[in-house]
Amino acid sequence: MYTPYEIFKFWMPVISGFAFVIKAYTSTKKDLADWAERLLQNHLSHIEEATVSTEKETKQTNSLLKDSMGKTDMLQATVADHYDKNMIVWQSVLESLTVLKERTPARRTCMAKRK
């Protein structure tokens, strides 16, 4: 039979070694997780800033495109209206010239005088 001292003398190094291995494993795991977190945070922070910036620029660009699209539609309508009115004016000018031509007597050709 073993005395408590002998039992303690045998099991204490085994338990201490096991505790040391567990402590080393958990602290290494925690340090590695912290290092990976810092690495990803540093890397992802630039990507996050770029994404936010891109989102703002995209929204601003879409807003400007919507504004310019409305202006383009208005411009097309204005140009079409101007073209229609211009055609009406030229039609009336053509009719006026036709009326003037019909009312103007034909030119007489001059004949050379006989001697």
Sign of CA dihedral 93, 96, 101, 104: negative
Round to whole Å and give the CA distance between 109 and 98.
22
Question: Do the domain assignments include residue 18?
Answer: yes
Give the tens place of pLDDT for each residue, 57-104. 999 999 988 888 888 888 888 999 999 999 999 999 999 999 988 888
Question: Do the domain assignments include residue 93?
Answer: no
Round to whole Å and give the CA distance between 74 and 67.
11
- Look at residue 1 in the predicted model and tell me its pLDDT: 83
The C-alpha angle with vertex 29 and arms to 24 and 34, in degrees rounded to 5, equals 125
Tell me which residue has tokens 């007489």: 108
The domain total for the chain is 1
Give the tens place of pLDDT for each residue, 47-60. 888 889 999 999 99
Question: Do the domain assignments include residue 41?
Answer: yes
Q: Is it the case that residue 112 has pLDDT exceeding 70?
A: no
Question: Do the domain assignments include residue 33?
Answer: yes
The two three-digit tokens of residue 24, written as one number:
């080393």
Range of the domain at 8: 1-65
Question: Do the domain assignments include residue 12?
Answer: yes
Name the more confident of 111 and 19.
Answer: 19
- Look at residue 115 in the predicted model and tell me its pLDDT: 63
The C-alpha angle with vertex 98 and arms to 104 and 102, in degrees rounded to 5, equals 30
Question: Do the domain assignments include residue 51?
Answer: yes
Question: Do the domain assignments include residue 19?
Answer: yes
Sign of CA dihedral 66, 70, 73, 78: negative
Rounded to an integer, the average pLDDT of 10-19 is 94
